[in-house]
Amino acid sequence: MRAAFLVAICVASTAGAAECIVPSKPGGAMDLTCKLVRDGLRQLPDTAQTPMRLSYAPGGIGAVAWHSLVSGRRGDGDTLVAFSGGSLLNLAQGKFGKAKPADVRWVAALGADYGMIAVRGDSPYRTLADLVAALKRDPAKVLIGVSGTIGSQDWLKMALLVRKAGIDPKVLRFVALEGGGEAFTAMQANYVQVVSGDASEAHLMAANGKVRVLAVLSEQRLPGELALVPTAREQGYDVVWPTIRGVWMGPQTSDADYQRWVRTFERMAATPGFARLRTAAGLYPLTLTGPALTDYVQKAVDDYGKRASQLGLVR
C-alpha cells in the first residue's frame, strides 16, 4: 500500500501534460513502449510539439500502476499506461486483485513482440540444446532471470520450453526481477546466467556483442538485428509466444478524450515515420485501436487463463 501511495503521488505531480506511465523500471520493453508513443507523436504535425512525459511506476509487474491510476486518476484524459501480453497474463491469473479488462479503456496496440531466450555473449551455452542439456544435468547451477514471479509471462515461456524437453519447471531456479532492463543488467553482472524475455529487449542489447540470443519464440525467423537467430521450433521445441504492446487509459476517461486518443494513434500508425520507429524498436506490425483492441484483450485474457490453468497456476 505504501508503495502504491508513493507512486500515486509521483504520478499525480505530472498532471497537466500528456503522460505515459511505464509500469516497470527504466530500460525494458515497457519503457520502450512509452518512448515509442512519445516519438511517434512527433510524426504528426498537430502533436509534434506536444510534450509527452514518461513516468515510472514499477511494482507487481504492472499492478502498482494499474491500481494507482484506476483508484486515483480514473478520468484523466491525457494519461496513458503501457501494457503488454504480460499485463494481460497477470489479469488472467488475478495478480491485479479483482481487476478485469473492462475496468479500463484500451486505446491502441503499437506493435507485436516475441519471446526469446538469451545468455551473455561469453556464455558456454551457444545453442538452445546446450542450455537444455545444462538444465538437465544440474538445474541448480543455472539461474534464470525473469520479469515477475512464478506464473509471469517470462516464467511461462521458459516453463513451456523446458516441458517440451521433459524437464519439470519446478526444478528450475528462477530469479524474479522488475522488468527486462533489470533482468539484462543482472545477467551482465552474472547474477543470473539466462534471461527469458522479449525480442525487442534483446534487439536493443544484442548489437554490442554482450548478449547472445539462443532462440526467438516466433513462427519464423525475425528480420533485422535478430535475423540469424533460429526459432525454438527450428531447434526442436515447438513454443511460440507473441506479445502485444500498447496503451490504456483510466475507466472514467470521457468519450471525447478517449476517441481523440484513438484517432491520434490511428493517424500515427499510418505514417511512414512511425513504421520506421517501430522497426527500430524491434517491434513488428500490429495495429488495433478502440473496440477492436478491447475485443482482442478480452479474448487474450481468456486464452492466458486457460494456459495458466494447464500449468496449475489458476485454480
Render pLDDT for 187-228 as a digit per residue (tens, 0 to 9). Answer: 999 999 999 998 988 877 776 778 999 999 999 999 888 899
pTM above 0.85, yes or no: no
**Do residues 26 and 129 both lie within one domain?**
no
- Whether pLDDT at 4 is above 60: no
pLDDT of residue 23: 92
* Alpha-carbon torsion (87, 7, 196, 111), positive or negative: positive
**Do residues 250 and 203 both lie within one domain?**
no
Per-residue pLDDT reduced to its tens digit, 120-162: 999 999 999 999 999 999 999 999 999 877 788 899 999 999 9
At 91 the three-state DSSP class reads helix
Per-residue pLDDT reduced to its tens digit, 63-76: 888 888 887 777 78
Range of the domain at 49: 2-112+243-310
Burial of 240 (0-12, 13-18, 19+ CB in 10 A): middle
**Do residues 43 and 128 both lie within one domain?**
no
| Residue written as grid cell 491485479 | 96
Q: What is the CATH number of the domain that holds 86?
A: 3.40.190.150
> Of the candidates 75, 79, 61, 77, which has an alpha carbon nearest to the alpha carbon of residue 10?
79
pLDDT of residue 3: 43
More confident residue, 186 or 48: 186
Is 43:274 a contact under the CB 8 Å cutoff?
A: yes
Which of 171, 191, 226 is the endpoint of a domain? 226
pLDDT of residue 59: 80
pLDDT of residue 12: 39
CA distance 161 to 163: 5
Instruction: Look at residue 236 and tell me if it is in a domain.
Output: no
**Do residues 107 and 253 both lie within one domain?**
yes
For 11-15, 115-119, 187-191, 217-221, which range has the lowest pLDDT when averaged over its residues? 11-15
